[in-house]
Amino acid sequence: MAEQLQKVSYQRMKDGTEADYAFMAENAVAYQQLTPGRLLTYVDTVLEGIPGEHVDTREHSLQSATRAFRDGANEEMVVAALLHDIGVPFAPDNHDQFAGEIIRPYVGWDTYWVVRHHGLFQGYYYFHYVGKDRNARDKYRGHPAFQQCVDFCEKWDQESFDPDYDTMPLSAFEPMVHRVFAREPWAERTKQP
């Protein structure tokens, strides 16, 4: 019987063996299973907003997800709404791309596209006040997920800065996040036809 590794033999990857990489592949499975929990903990405890709005980004995210859920959005879209601004503290200039890539392997191509582009689409509500073109999103007119992104912003994102809204708790979304991230990555749904 092969000896059970506790640690790999290498300190430079090029010195690794087949046994090392088999061992690491096994460890990676368990490691990756913690991803949804990490994201939830992050939303719950760290996700902060730019000061000045009535709700922080944690509350805004929960509220967006609540509205999506109450409007009957499918589960991956509810999860997308919950996580759509998760990149704000790390990637302020491309936070939509950041969040889009996190969910991309597990959701439909259109859900990914909506999250990936919501920053520009959301600009419709304020770009004209900050010297930018509020209609910049029009360059994507004709894309099959264009209207979905318009609706995401209109019904759930731009709407969700209300401190008095009856927002659902994070615990309500936990099983959804776990289910979406337990899916087979890069399945057919992720490919735009």
Which stretches of the chain bind Fe ion, using CB under 5 A? 85, 157
Taking the complex as a whole, the smallest distance from the CB of residue 31 to Fe ion amounts, in Å, to 28
Query: Which of 76/85 has CB closer to Fe ion?
Result: 85
Give me the amino acid identity at 30. A
Contact 150, 138 (CB under 8 A): no
Please identify, using beta-carbon distances, which residue of 15 and 53 lies nearer to Fe ion: 53
Q: How far is the CB of 87 from Fe ion (least distance, A)?
A: 8
Q: How far is the CB of 85 from Fe ion (least distance, A)?
A: 4
CB-nearer residue toward Fe ion: 59 or 85: 85
| Smallest gap from residue 153 Cβ to Fe ion (A) | 8
Please give the Cα distance from 72 to 85 (Å, whole number): 21
- Residue 156's contacts (CB-CB under 8 Å, 6 or more residues apart) are 64, 65, 67, 68, 71, 73, 81
Q: 23 vs 117, which CB is nearer to Fe ion?
A: 117
